Amino acid sequence: MNRALLVGINAYPGNELNGCVNDVSDVANFLVSHCDFQEDDIRLLTDKRATTNAIEAHLNWLLTGVNEGDRVVFHYSGHGARFPVRNEAGKVTRVDECICPVDFDWSEQHAIRDKQFQELFSKVPKGVEFSWISDSCFSGDLAKDMLPPGRKIKSFPMPADIAWRMRTAETRPGAKLHSFEHVIASYNAVLVSGSSKSETSADANIDGRYNGALTYYLLQTLSAPNGLTQTLEQAVARTRSALRRNGYSQHPQLEGSQDLMQRPFLVSLQKKAASSSKAA
């Protein structure tokens, strides 16, 4: 069984992006044309429909009832944030990474954090091939004023009270960073993220059309003649090189299952399915 959930959000009130809906449409077309997914295998959530409740419900759909040998893809293109969390005593004890639904407002009720992903992923059986592509970043206002024209950072700027809470977390020795990489490490899953922790991911105008830079160049790499024979590790390395050649400073990261990193993207099971069909 194949399943894919693709979330793309441009329409953040007051903090709009441009290329995220194009990103998810492009990924959907790639999965159908290159990876033997059917249209019915794929759900898209975009703009005002991509609320916290809707994304959570669709993530439950994505992961409920999957079994060993199934292929599961989650692609997110939109703003990301780091969310400092206080305990019951009012002390900042940890910083969570989160994706930002369209109704994100720096409240815990309207953020989907690494802790929630961990709860979801804990229900996934062993042997499910899970790929998560996150075209977002979590580094706040870094380099905001240094971007070339036509590019935006895919990260929510922090309001003053949250920025103070973050400063408190950074100066508190016991505060821990909970990241998506830590979530993915325990499962048969890989995470391709748009940039390293100290960088930003770009929402860019590429040849007159807006896209997330990670999504655009990753799909270019995977669509090349050898795209689905190279390992995922090689594909991400080539995506980094393509970004650098085209003037982007971000370095996509690959985390998670070493086994999946050393195999082509979604292809091993695809070939197995094709062989079974021929035998039948």
Q: How confident is the model over 4-21, as pLDDT tens digits?
A: 999 999 999 988 999 999
What is the torsion angle, in degrees rounded to the nearest 10, for the CA atoms of residue 43, residue 28, residue 221 and residue 201? -50
Burial of 39: CB neighbours in 10 Å, binned 0-12, 13-18, 19+: exposed
CATH topology of domain 2-279: Rossmann fold (3.40.50)
DSSP for 198-249 reads TS--EEEEETTEEEEHHHHHHHHHHHSTTTTTS-HHHHHHHHHHHHHHTT--
Per-residue pLDDT, 80: 86
Map out the domains of the chain as residue ranges: 2-279
Residue 104 pLDDT greater than 70, yes or no: yes
Through-space distance between the first and last CA atoms of the chain, rounded to whole angstroms = 18
Per-residue pLDDT reduced to its tens digit, 177-221: 544 555 565 567 888 988 776 666 888 899 999 999 999 999 999
79-83, 141-145, 262-266, 275-279: the lowest-pLDDT one? 141-145
Active site annotation includes 251: no
Examine the residue annotation and report whether 100 is marked as an active-site residue of this protein.
no
Check if the beta carbon of residue 200 is closer than 8 Å to that of residue 142.
Answer: yes
Please determine, for residue 133, whether its predicted confidence score (pLDDT) is greater than 80.
yes
Q: In the Cβ-directed half-sphere of 158, how many Cα atoms lie within 13 Å?
A: 17
Q: Which two tokens stand for residue 46?
A: 């975009």
169 and 87 in contact (C-beta within 8 Å)? no
Cα separations in angstroms, 208 against 2, 92, 150, 231: 33, 44, 10, 31
| Residue 278: strand, helix, or coil | helix
Q: Which of 20, 35, 58, 79 is catalytic?
A: 79
